[in-house]
């Protein structure tokens, strides 16, 4: 299991979702991906995308203007 | 002998029609996954995220939401680069504005064909309804989409299939044609009745309205961009900036993009290092980006317009900081331009 980070700042939805989707496709089940966004839409869209594609959101937190979504890659994609 | 599990890929816009098309096919035991294309001109999502007064509105990507309601996977595909050809050289021309609907639909179904082949799916479904759209959903143009996309008889439109010649999924018995529909025309009543049948109570706006290219004002700004640059092309940032702020073009050499409120100013902040920009020195006001090649005289006019959109607009003189691209910031003290001196024709 490894942890990775993806900078999706200044991208507007759905681009953070697309970037996360494409990055997850390269990772393995159990890997952790930290997605750093600035678009508030990502707060809803990335979890929605995770739910329908079998990944798990571990944490969503805000840090200054950034929204950080921590997700665990599932076995289903 | 066990029956083969057939699989369909559905074009999901986030509207009601594609939602119903999926539900109709799921009802027949078909495994469905969704595909959604991001062209850069899609209305939802970012448009609600920028402006501060929209921040309390429900922010969701309708395609993702629809997929979740349907219990299907959704694959969102970035087609920004490829879409340029569709918009810049549409074989079938434009609709009322810069919307190349027929070419767009053929392009998207064509992308779905490639996806279907790569993932070993069996056919494609869309929420198209015969006669619903003036360009891409006419009796004579629906076959054009099937043909030019390369989908041919593997493209099934469950909501109007009974009005069309049978497709491979019907002829092969993968789906029962009798359980498909024959919706026709612009009335939304059949869709609303079908939604009720499926207990679907919440859905996004009835089909359409999801593309900025159908918007007259946006199309005007895009046309202006091409005229000013003397060539028809764009980058993603160009088409994003057309969605934000007031756009004022005093002359062919430059235009101003003026943040209308805090959310837009914050968004424009991210672009200021790539443009000449102005802002009031001593008070709150708009961040203004200058797109083009302004002369010294133009910069003075830009400063006067910037002063017009700041808190001190009623003072006789206002200090404006001006940062030409790649140069040091300097200050101009100017008289705010009176509203009556900004001709309506300058507003894009």
What mean pLDDT do residues B22-37 have?
97
* Nearest one of A57, A60, A56 to A76, comparing CA atoms: A56
Q: What's the confidence (pLDDT) of residue B186?
A: 84
* Nearest one of B101, B106, B93 to B147, comparing CA atoms: B106
B12 vs B75: CA distance, rounded Å: 9
Q: What's the confidence (pLDDT) of residue B217?
A: 92
- Which one is catalytic: A4, A11, A13, A57? A13
Question: In the sheet where B276-280 sits, what is the strand order?
Answer: B246-251, B254-258, B288-292, B276-280, B318-323, B330-334
pLDDT band (50, 70, 90) for residue B51: low
Token pair 């008289």 is at which residue?
B335
Q: Is B114 on the interface with A (CB under 8 A)?
A: no
Q: Are A37 and A53 in contact (CB under 8 A)?
A: no
Instruction: Provide the residue ranges of all domains of chain B, joining segments of one domain with +.
Output: 7-213, 244-346
Cβ within 8 Å, pair B76-A40: no
Q: Is B210 on the interface with A (CB under 8 A)?
A: no
The whole-angstrom distance between residue B116's C-alpha and the CA centroid of its chain comes to: 24
What mean pLDDT do residues B125-151 have?
88
Q: Which domain holds residue A17?
A: 3-72
Q: Does domain B7-213 have CATH number 3.40.50.620?
A: yes
The whole-angstrom distance between residue A59's C-alpha and the CA centroid of its chain comes to: 10
For the stretch B251-270, pLDDT in tens is: 999 999 999 988 889 889 88
In a domain, A61, yes or no: yes
Q: Which of A26-40, B128-142, B283-297 bottoms out in mean pLDDT, i.e. has the lowest?
A: B128-142
Is A50 among the catalytic positions? no
Cβ within 8 Å, pair A14-B42: yes
Neighbouring CB atoms inside 10 A of B233's CB total 10
In a domain, A77, yes or no: no
Does pLDDT of B222 surpass 70?
A: yes
Question: In the sheet where A3-8 sits, what is the strand order?
Answer: A3-8, A32-37, A66-72, A56-63
Helix (H, G, I), strand (E, B) or coil at A68: strand
Beta partners for residue B7, in sequence order: B31
Q: Which residues contact B18 (CB under 8 A, 6 or more apart)?
A: B10, B11, B12, B34, B66, B126, B127
For the stretch B271-289, pLDDT in tens is: 988 999 999 998 999 999 9
* Nearest one of B53, B63, B72, B144 to B106, comparing CA atoms: B144
Cβ within 8 Å, pair B50-A14: no
pLDDT band (50, 70, 90) for residue B135: low
B40 vs B45: CA distance, rounded Å: 11
pLDDT band (50, 70, 90) for residue A75: confident
Please state whether beta strands B254-258 and B276-280 pair in parallel, antiparallel, or not at all (unpaired): unpaired
For the stretch B143-194, pLDDT in tens is: 999 999 999 999 999 999 999 999 999 999 999 999 999 999 888 899 999 9
ipTM, two decimals, is: 0.93
Looking at CA atoms only, how far is residue A8 from chain B in angstroms?
13
CATH number, domain with residue A56: 3.30.110.40
In a domain, A8, yes or no: yes
Tokens of B255: 């235009």
Does pLDDT of B202 surpass 90?
A: no
**Structural domain total, chain A:** 1
**Residue B171: DSSP 8-state:** H
């Amino acid at each position: 299991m490894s942890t990775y980070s993806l900078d999706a700042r200044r991208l507007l939805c759905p681009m953070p979702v697309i970037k996360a989707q494409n990055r997850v496709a390269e990772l393995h089940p159990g890997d952790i991906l930290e997605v750093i966004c600035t678009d508030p839409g990502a707060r809803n869209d990335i979890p929605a995308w995770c739910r329908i594609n079998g990944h798990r959101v571990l944490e969503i937190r805000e840090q200054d203007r950034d929204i950080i979504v921590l997700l665990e890659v599932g076995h289903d994609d | 002998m066990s029956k083969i599990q057939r699989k369909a890929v559905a074009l999901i816009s986030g509207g009601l029609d594609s939602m119903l098309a999926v539900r109709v096919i799921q009802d027949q035991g078909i495994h469905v996954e969704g595909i959604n294309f991001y062209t850069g001109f899609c209305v939802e999502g970012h448009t609600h995220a920028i402006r501060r007064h929209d921040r309390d509105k429900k922010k969701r990507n309708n395609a993702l939401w629809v997929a979740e309601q349907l219990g299907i996977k959704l694959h969102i595909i970035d087609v920004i680069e490829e879409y340029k050809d569709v918009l810049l050289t549409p074989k079938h021309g434009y609709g009322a504005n810069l919307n190349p609907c027929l070419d767009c639909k053929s392009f998207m179904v064509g992308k779905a064909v490639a996806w279907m082949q790569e993932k070993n799916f069996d056919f494609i479904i869309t929420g198209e309804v015969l006669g619903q759209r003036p360009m891409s959903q006419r009796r004579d143009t629906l076959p054009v989409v099937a043909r030019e996309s390369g989908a041919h008889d593997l493209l099934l439109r469950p909501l109007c299939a009974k009005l069309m010649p049978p497709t491979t999924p019907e002829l092969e018995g993968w789906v029962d044609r009798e359980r498909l529909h024959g919706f026709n025309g612009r009335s939304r009543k059949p869709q609303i009745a079908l939604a009720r049948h499926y207990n679907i109570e919440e859905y996004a706006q009835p089909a359409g309205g999801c593309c900025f290219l159908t918007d007259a004002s946006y199309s005007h700004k895009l046309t202006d961009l091409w005229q000013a640059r003397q060539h028809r092309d764009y980058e993603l940032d160009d088409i994003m900036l057309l969605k934000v702020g007031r756009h004022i073009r005093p002359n062919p050499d430059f235009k101003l993009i003026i943040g209308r409120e805090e959310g837009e100013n914050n968004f424009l902040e991210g672009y200021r290092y790539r443009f000449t920009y102005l802002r009031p020195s001593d008070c709150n006001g708009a961040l203004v980006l200058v797109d083009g090649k302004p002369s010294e005289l133009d910069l003075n006019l830009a400063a006067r317009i910037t002063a017009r959109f700041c808190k001190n607009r009623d003072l006789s003189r206002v200090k404006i900081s001006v940062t030409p691209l790649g140069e040091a910031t300097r200050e101009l003290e100017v008289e705010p331009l009176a509203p009556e001196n900004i001709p309506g024709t300058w507003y894009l």
